[in-house]
Structure 1
Amino acid sequence: MSRLPSLFLSHGAPTLPIDPSMPSSEFAALGARLPRPRAILVLSAHWGTNVPVASTAEAPETIHDFYGFPRALYELHYRAPGAPDVARQAAALLDAANIAAQTQPRGLDHGAWVPLLLMYPQADVPVAQLSIQPHRDPAHHYALGRALRPLADDGVLIVGSGQITHNLRAADFGAKPGDGDPRVAEFTDWFEARLAQRDIEALLDYRAQAPHAAFMHPTDEHLLPIFASIGAASDDYALEIQSLGTYQRALAMTNYVFAG
C-alpha cells in the first residue's frame, strides 16, 4: 500500500451532519476521493490530556460532548469498530520517540465522529483516537506527528480535527455563510502560504508571526491538531486545500490534505 496522506479537518459545529446550510456533502466528497485506509487515527481538539493517550476501545461509543442542540443530534451514533492495534502501535511509536504515552479505552468525541460520519457513513473503517496536550506548544504536536509517520506507510489515515479559525466569542450566529470577518482571510492566507512553502519554522511560531493570531485562536486547542497532521506528512508533501467558506463570521471551514 502506498503512503496515505494526512488530513486536517475544520469540523465546525456539532450540527454539521444535520444542518443543510453547512457543507456536509463536501466532507463526503473528500472521503470518496481519498485512498481507502485500513484504519483511522484521529487527534481531536476535544480530547486534551497531560500526556498523549491512545484509545484502545474495541467498540468506541459516540460521545455527545455538547449541550443545547437539537434532539436529532443526540440520536446520531457512529458505530465504527475501534482500532486498538493502531492505538497500541501509536503509543509504542511515541514511546520510541521519547514522548511518554499511555493507552485507555475511550469513545469518539464529536471532533472525531462528526466529520467521519460524513466521510465514511458506512462506519466500516476502524477508528482510534489520540489525545492532544492543550498546555503544550505547536512544536510538541509537530513532534507527535513525526513520530506517527510510520502509520501512514501502514495504511492508517492520520486526521487532525479542529478549526483553522476558532473564536466563538467573535461568532455571529445570524451571519450568512461566507460573510466573514476580514481578519479570517488575512490569517488563513498567511497560514496557507506558509503551508504551501512548507515553512515549518514560521508555522510553529504562528502565534508571533501570523496576523490576528490571538483573535483567531484565543486558545490553541483547535489549531494544535494541524501541527500533528503536518508532522505526519512527508517532508515534501503536496498541499491540497478544500475551502468551504466562513460561517458565523469567524469560523473558517477549510480542510487540508497533505499528500505524498
Structure 2
Amino acid sequence: MISIPQLQSSLQAGQFLEYQCQANLNLYDSSLLQGLVTQAVAGRQLRVLPLPVENEGKLQGMAVQVRLCEDDYPGWLALEDLDLLEVAEIAYQPLALTAAEICDRIPQVIAFAHAAMNQPNHYLWGGTVGPNYDCSGLMQTAFAAAGIWLPRDSYQQEAFTQPLSLDALQPGDLVFFGPPERANHVGLHLGDRYYIHSSGRDRGRNGIGIDVLSEEGDEISRAYYKLFRGVGRVTQCYQPRIP
C-alpha cells in the first residue's frame, strides 16, 4: 500500500519508482477523472510522474499522472487508488521475442479473442481488462495474454506493425480502418479475410463480433470495408522507453 506522504517523499528525493497494481485500475484522460482512457490489469507496473503541489506541499486535485511501464501509455490515477499500488520488487523487463516466436503464439491470441467474444460484453472506450473492450484494447490484451505487448491505440499499433499486402494476409495479422489521416479502428484477422473486433453502436454493434473484409459482406462489414486502410503483422514486442 502506497500512501501520499510516501509517494511525495520518494518523488522529492528523485526516486521515480515502479509500482505494481494490486487490482484492476482505471486510468483517465485528465485529473478531473471523467473520461476513461485505458485500464491496467492487476500485475501491471507503472511510474508516477512528477506531482503538482500547492504552496503548503499538498497534492492538487483528485489524481496523480502516471505512465504504464509495458506500453508507455499515460493517464491519470485517482488518489484513492494509490492504496492499490505496491512498490515493484523488480523493474519491468519486456520479452525480446523473435518474429518466429510471435508467430508460434498467434493461436493463443486468436483463442483469447474468441473467448472474449463468447462472454457477455459491450464496447467500452478505454476498456482493456474485460469483459468490455474498445477495439485496440481487445487487440492489446489478446496479444498480452500470449506474452506479446503492443502499443495501446490503433494508430500506434498500425505504426508498430509490419505493413503487408492483402495477398500476404495471415491469421493473427491486424486489420486497420479509419480516415486518411490515421487509423482509428483495428481488428484481428482470423483467416479468409474474416476478422474479430470490438465495435460500438455507431456501426450497428455494441461489442465483439466477426466481420469480413469485403464489400460483399453484411451492412456492418461493408461500413468498415469503406474505411479499410491496410493490414500489418506483429513481428516484435513493444520495448518501453528508458525512463
TM category, shorter: under 0.3
Q: Which has the higher strand share?
A: 2
With CA pairs under 8 Å and 6+ residues apart, which has the higher RCO, 1 or 2? 1
Q: Which has the larger radius of gyration?
A: 2
Taking structure 2 as the reference length, the TM-score comes to 0.25
Q: Which has the higher helix share?
A: 1
